[in-house]
């Protein structure tokens, strides 16, 4: 039995996160672990203040459809993901917070996340998702760099 049985990897469908998904897929295959691929749609809750609920639901539906298409394209770009048992997870909110909430409700042993390599004032003011998860995660975190 492996120390890592359930691996959670975050994706925003960027090249950095594709590298993280590929790395997590390879780990999951070698460890015979289950892979969970998490995408967080940034919180659009304030949008509903400015538009009707019908338009808001239409936008949410389009975002969900686009996200499903992005998942399908990711599957095609990263052949390693096809070699493992995995589940897609979609959440809405702030990516670092939603990742930690997901970790709290699951039986995950490891988080894999890509480093976006932010630097300078932007990183100082905002902090990266990976950095926030590293600081607050109750489980091990593997940060990949492309």
Q: Model pTM?
A: 0.87
Helix/strand/coil for 53? helix
Beta strands in 1-146 (DSSP E): 6-10, 34-42, 86-93, 110-114, 140-144
Residues sharing a CB contact under 8 Å with residue 60, sequence separation 6 or more, in sequence order: 44
| Domain annotation for the chain: domains and CATH numbers | 6-144 (3.40.50.620)
**What are the pLDDT tens digits along the chain (146 aa)?**
679 999 999 999 999 999 999 999 999 999 999 999 999 998 666 776 778 888 888 988 999 999 999 999 999 999 999 999 899 999 998 999 999 999 999 899 999 999 874 444 444 444 588 999 999 999 999 999 87
CA distances from 131 to 30, 144, 145 (A): 27, 12, 13
């Amino acid at each position: 039995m492996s120390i890592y049985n359930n691996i959670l990897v975050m994706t925003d469908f960027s090249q950095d996160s594709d590298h993280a998904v590929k790395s997590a897929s390879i780990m999951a295959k070698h460890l015979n672990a289950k892979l969970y691929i998490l995408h967080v749609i940034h919180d659009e809750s304030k949008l509903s203040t400015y538009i009707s609920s019908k338009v808001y639901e239409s936008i949410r539906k389009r975002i969900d459809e686009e996200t499903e298409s992005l998942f399908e394209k990711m599957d095609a770009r990263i052949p390693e993901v096809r070699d493992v048992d995995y589940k897609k997870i979609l959440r809405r909110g702030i990516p670092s917070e939603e990742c930690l909430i997901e970790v709290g409700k699951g039986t995950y042993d490891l988080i894999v996340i890509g480093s976006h390599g932010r630097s300078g004032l932007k990183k100082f003011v905002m902090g990266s998702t990976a950095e926030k998860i590293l600081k607050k995660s109750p489980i091990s975190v593997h940060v990949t760099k492309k």
